[in-house]
């Protein structure tokens, strides 16, 4: 009997033959599933520190707020110029007091930490004002968009000794990547040689709280967001430094381009970078080409190659295996091939940052790491070769 299932199997087999692609059943991959112990996030009562929010032009502010609340932070106030953005935020966090100006927050002695996801070119100047008022600062990425801004931020940070932290959420808020950190630290793949980050993003993204179904005008202007390597690439420089344990690094080569958005001349939709540091090598590719058919805003992948094995994290989706959702980790070493569902991992960044605010420590992220990841992104952006989409025969090249 020709059931729908058998018909589909035959169709796929025929497609595979025609394309020369061998289709392998997920079961044939022989990955053994490692069942991780279920972890419960410790409940930390609010009130360890008081924090506030200034400017919310990107929905990443919701994840940032949740991270600090997990650490025991008490949200006490918020300010944004846009009434619609303020209303949406207050609906999610009614405990926040809506204030009429930035000054009401930065001049409030009870506020210890300020969060922001403002327009990217406004984030560093705000952070400087926050630090000069004796408060610590957590900004969405990119937290700094020019080398001049970086120099000014570093100067004020040194003078004030306040924390200037950037939420590199593709590591700090991804449970699969957190598990990879634990495995690398434990020596599961030996000495790390190279990291490979593939970070495609979707432009028109309505998925979840972090979605932006319609992008604002500043999104398309490189002077406002800093360029593709500065912006979404900043996540990847952070991961490269973290996993290779590099404290020094150089940009070997970089390139950026606008390959598919001619109506947006100030936009970049593709970029890639090669890195070399004192802890290992790195390759980064970022783009805005996630197709609408994908069940996520981007099929982000992290590959960590070591002397004794490698790890791949499928951050947001796993199109090959059929595993649902994200936070999937594959480990191959000299002993075995393992698959891990990492959705029960605990994310430590928020609690650690709250403790750092209280204890003047650097357990969440060192200041030098934060600034170096940003500096690499900025230098890669500045030295990038501009690439253009090739004109193919029959497409206006004059070679018809």
Per-residue confidence (pLDDT) for residue 213, from 0 to 100: 67
Per-residue confidence (pLDDT) for residue 25, from 0 to 100: 38
Q: Coil, strand, or helix at residue 72?
A: coil
Interior angle at CA 181, CA 325 and CA 280, nearest 5: 120
- Are 135 and 279 found together in one domain? no
- Are 200 and 124 found together in one domain? no
Q: Is residue 35 part of a domain?
A: no
Contacts of 114 (CB under 8 A, 6+ apart): 51, 52, 53, 54, 105, 106, 126, 130, 135, 136, 137, 138
The Cα 255–Cα 240 span in angstroms is 18
Q: Is residue 43 part of a domain?
A: no
- Are 156 and 235 found together in one domain? no
The Cα 369–Cα 238 span in angstroms is 8
The Cα 282–Cα 303 span in angstroms is 10
CA 92 to chain centre: 22
Range 37-44, long-range pairs (CB < 8 A, 24+ positions):
37/344, 38/344, 39/344, 39/345, 39/346, 41/70, 41/346, 41/347, 42/351, 44/70, 44/71, 44/72, 44/351, 44/354
Return the beta strands (E) in 221-319 as ranges: 249-257, 270-277, 281-287, 301-306, 309-314
- CB-CB contact of 167 with 353 (8 Å): no
> Which range marks the domain in which residue 82 is found?
49-167
- CB-CB contact of 380 with 254 (8 Å): yes
Residue-level pLDDT, tens digit, the chain, 400 residues: 455 445 544 544 454 444 343 333 343 357 888 878 777 778 888 899 999 999 999 999 999 999 999 999 999 999 999 999 999 999 999 999 999 999 999 999 999 999 999 999 999 999 999 999 999 999 999 999 999 999 999 999 999 999 999 999 999 999 999 999 999 999 999 999 999 999 999 988 665 555 566 788 999 999 999 999 999 999 999 999 999 999 999 999 999 999 999 999 999 999 999 999 999 999 999 999 999 899 999 999 999 999 999 999 999 999 988 788 999 999 999 999 999 999 999 999 999 999 999 999 999 999 999 999 999 999 999 999 999 876 556 543 333 2
Per-residue confidence (pLDDT) for residue 323, from 0 to 100: 86
Residue 50: closest CA among 67, 69, 23: 69
- Are 154 and 297 found together in one domain? no
Domain boundary among 167, 188, 218: 167
Q: Is residue 189 part of a domain?
A: yes
- Are 215 and 117 found together in one domain? no
Q: Is residue 372 part of a domain?
A: no
User: CA–CA distance from 65 to each of 228, 281, 320, 358 (Å)?
Assistant: 25, 33, 33, 17
Contacts of 244 (CB under 8 A, 6+ apart): 192, 194, 195, 277, 279, 280, 281, 282
Q: Is residue 15 part of a domain?
A: no
Per-residue confidence (pLDDT) for residue 30, from 0 to 100: 74
- Are 144 and 192 found together in one domain? no
The model carries a pTM of: 0.88
Kindly report the CATH number assigned to the domain that includes residue 327: 3.30.360.10
- Are 114 and 220 found together in one domain? no
Q: Is residue 254 part of a domain?
A: yes
Per-residue confidence (pLDDT) for residue 45, from 0 to 100: 86
- Are 155 and 249 found together in one domain? no
- Are 203 and 239 found together in one domain? yes
- Are 148 and 176 found together in one domain? no
């Amino acid at each position: 009997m020709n059931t729908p299932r058998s018909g589909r199997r035959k169709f796929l087999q025929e497609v595979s033959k025609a394309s020369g692609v061998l289709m392998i059943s997920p079961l044939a991959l022989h990955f053994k599933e490692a069942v991780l112990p279920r972890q419960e996030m410790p409940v930390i009562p609010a009130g360890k520190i008081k924090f506030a929010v200034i400017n919310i032009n990107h929905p990443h502010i919701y994840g940032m707020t949740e991270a600090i609340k997990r650490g025991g932070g008490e949200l006490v106030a918020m300010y944004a110029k846009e009434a619609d953005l303020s209303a949406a935020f207050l609906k999610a966090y009614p405990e926040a007091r809506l204030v009429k100006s930035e000054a009401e927050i930065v001049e409030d002695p009870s506020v210890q930490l300020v969060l922001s996801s403002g327009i990217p070119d406004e984030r560093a100047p705000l952070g400087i004002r926050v630090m000069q008022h004796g408060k610590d600062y957590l900004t969405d990425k990119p937290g700094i968009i020019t080398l001049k801004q970086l120099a000014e931020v570093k100067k004020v940070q040194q003078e004030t000794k306040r924390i200037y932290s950037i939420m590199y959420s593709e590591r700090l808020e991804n449970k699969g990547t957190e598990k990879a950190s634990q495995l690398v630290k434990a020596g599961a793949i030996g000495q790390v040689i190279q990291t490979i980050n593939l970070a495609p993003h979707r432009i028109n993204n309505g998925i979840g709280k972090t979605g932006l179904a319609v992008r604002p005008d500043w999104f398309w202007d490189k002077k406002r967001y800093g360029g593709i390597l500065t912006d979404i690439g900043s996540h990847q420089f952070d991961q490269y430094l973290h996993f290779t344990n590099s404290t020094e690094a150089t940009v070997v080569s970089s390139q950026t381009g606008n390959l598919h958005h001619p109506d947006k001349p100030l936009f970049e939709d593709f970029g890639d970078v090669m890195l070399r540091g004192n802890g290992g090598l790195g390759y980064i590719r970022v783009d805005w080409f996630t197709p609408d058919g994908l069940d996520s805003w981007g099929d982000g992948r992290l590959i960590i190659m070591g002397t004794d094995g490698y790890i791949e994290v499928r951050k947001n989706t796993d199109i090959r295996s059929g595993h649902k959702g994200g936070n999937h980790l594959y480990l191959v070493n000299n002993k075995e091939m393992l698959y891990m569902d990492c959705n029960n991992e605990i994310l430590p960044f928020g609690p650690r940052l709250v403790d750092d605010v209280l204890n003047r420590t650097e357990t969440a992220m060192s200041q030098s790491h934060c600034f170096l990841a940003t500096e690499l992104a900025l230098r890669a952006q500045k030295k990038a070769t501009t690439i253009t989409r090739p004109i193919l025969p029959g497409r206006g090249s004059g070679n018809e």
